[in-house]
Each structure stands twice: as structure tokens, then as C-alpha cells.
Amino acid sequence: MPKIKAGVIVFPGSNCDRDAGFALEKIGFDYDYIWHDFEKVLDYDFLFLPGGFSYGDYLRAGALAKFSPVMKNVEKFIENERGLVLGVCNGFQILTESGILKGALSQNEKMKFICDDVDVEIKNRKSPFTKYIEKETLEIPIAHMDGNFKIEEKDYKELKNNDQIVFEYKDNPNGSYKNIAGIMNDKKNVLGMMPHPERNAVKLLGNGDGASILLSIRRFLENE
């Protein structure tokens, strides 16, 4: 069976792109790095928007990256349901700034950078990103200053009613509304999350829980 083809989008200031590539290779993906000025059709099964500080987080985290040429093609990729998209940390911020995902990421409640391992509960077990995960709770690293997820109550109700909330923190580290750690779009082919699964994808780096998300993505793309 051919490997699933993944693309890691790299913006000026991305700093988790190599972590993403390392994890994808361990999970069995073929992958390419895609520079932010790429303007052609994105011929991939899976796109990974990594963490970091795109454009130095000037203005707001993710606010400038949404204007990168590659993002027009990311939006077409999502619209045409060509595959799955995962945005982690700064990738999540870019997806909200682009309007692909609802809500916004603001400064942590205690106004401090947080670097820690956190427990997240899986709230939607039928999504492509979690369908093949056996555990109910995952331990995954976080590393962010602007991870406080904000959303209007009406939009939160919409997310909840449509099963678009994928992960919630067990012990909310940053003040995120209703403990939200990760959400999907309405098509359920895009996931944004603040925790970093790629940083805990092999047991040498922890318990390997992050691998289960990437494995679920791979198995979904192979089987469905």
C-alpha cells in the first residue's frame, strides 16, 4: 500500500516544522515541506500547519500568515475536500485568523508563556482525527503564550451541537472557554488544536500519546 502523502506548510518564523516532519516519518507518511509562497494546487492527502511564530507574531499570532499565497490553496484544498488538515498551536491560530475555524486565540489568562504536559479528553470519537484512538485521555505537550481560546456563546453552541469540539483540557492551563483545546470546521476535515501531538509521537519523548492522533489520520485516509 502506498504511503499517504503529507505536506508541512512552512511560514517565516515556523519552528515546529521539523518536529512535524520527524513525527510524520515515524508514523509512516511521505512528506514534503511547502514554503509559504507556494501558489500551485496542493496535491496531498494531508496538510500540517505547524507551530512557531509565523511572521514573528506581529500584529497578532497568525494574523499575517493568513495573507500568505499558500493559504488560498489551503482554503481550496479544504473546500474541495481533497484530504485532511491539522493546525497545531500557531497553525491553529492561523486557521482561526483565516476564518477557517471559529473563535480566536488570545493571551493566556495568567499572561505567561506555558510549557508543560497536559491531559486532554477526547470529546468526539468519530472524527477522522480520533476515530482510531483507543484511549479516552491523552497526555500531550503545550508551549504557548496565546492559547486562550475565545468564542461567542452562539458559536460555541453551534460547535457543541455539531460535534465540532474534539479535545478539552482536563485542567484548563490557559483560561480557554469551556476548557476547549481543539475544534473542527463544519466539514470535519480540519482540526485546530493548541497541544503539540508531534512533540510526543515517540516514546523516547514521553508516552507517545501524540502518535495516536497522527495514526488515526493515517488510518482514516487509508481506509475511508
Q: What is the pLDDT of residue 219?
A: 96
144 is catalytic: no
> Which amino acid type is present at position 217?
I
Selecting among 36, 97, 144, 196, the annotated active-site residue is: 196
Interacting residues of 103 by C-beta distance below 8 A, sequence separation 6+:
96, 149, 150, 151, 155, 177, 180, 183
Tell me: pLDDT of 2 over 70: no
Catalytic residue of the set 36, 97, 144, 198 = 198
pTM, full prediction? 0.96
Judge whether residue 42 has pLDDT over 60.
yes
Cell numbers 504557548 correspond to what residue? 144
Q: What's the pLDDT tens digit per position in 53-74?
A: 999 999 899 999 999 999 999 9
| Helical segments of 98-178, H only | 153-161
Answer for the pair 104, 151: CB distance below 8 angstroms, yes or no. yes
Q: Which of these is catalytic: 16, 89, 97, 144?
A: 89
Beta-strand relationship, 46-49 and 84-88? parallel
What is the total residue count of the chain? 224
Nearest to 103 by CA among 156, 146, 151, 60: 151
pLDDT bracket for residue 80 (50, 70, 90): very high
Buried (b) or exposed (e) across 75-106, using 16+ Cβ within 10 A?
A: eebbeeebbbbbbbbbbbbbbbbbebbbbbbb
Domain 5-223 has CATH 1.10.1070.20: no
β-pairing, 148-150 with 165-169?
unpaired
